[in-house]
Amino acid sequence: MKICKVCGLKATCAEELSLFKKNKGSLLGVEDKCKTCHNLSKLEWNRTKAGKICKIYSKQVQSSKKRNMPLPTYSKDELHDWLMASQEFHHIFNLWSISGSDTRLARSVDRTNPYKSYTFDNIEVMTWNENDIKGRAERKVLKSLKG
């Protein structure tokens, strides 16, 4: 039998174990939390400053690889310290929180020069919406230059 350590959901047969996320390292092969509780805790983590910074850094690494560019010149911990020292990051985070997690107001970090890699002198804090507008404008300029 497996019991979710958060909500107490019980799985008494193999079919009910599908309500838990898989984990090959555990005795029964599933996590200690059911999928619902796992997803809720992940959502809560992603809504924290530390969770958002982890996600931003992961996206920067992913974007760098996709574009065949050098990886960020800083570590996740260094980005965390840089953003936590940024008044703009805290301001945007507070606006986003007050808005009820409006995606357009989510925190974002973008390169000021899209042709250079992620370095502290080439990144800026902005909302997702500002980043999206900037990206669309850059793509429009590139398209007109090629066209």
Q: Where are the domains of the chain?
A: 74-146
Given a cut of 90, whether residue 26 has pLDDT beyond it is no
User: With bands split at pLDDT 50, 70 and 90, how would you rate the model's confidence at 5?
Assistant: very high
Give the residue, 111 or 145, on which the prediction is more confident.
111
pLDDT at residue 29 in the model: 87
pLDDT at residue 17 in the model: 86
**CA angle centred on 94, ends 93 and 96, rounded to 5°:** 65
Given a cut of 70, whether residue 147 has pLDDT beyond it is no
d(CA 117, CA 119): 6
36: Cα separation from own chain's centroid: 20
pLDDT at residue 109 in the model: 94
CB neighbours of residue 117 within 10 Å: 17
Q: What is the pTM of this model?
A: 0.79
Query: With contact defined as beta carbons under 8 Å apart, do 34 and 48 qualify?
Result: no
pLDDT tens digits along 27-82: 888 899 999 999 999 999 989 999 999 999 999 999 999 999 999 999 999 999 99
pLDDT at residue 141 in the model: 85
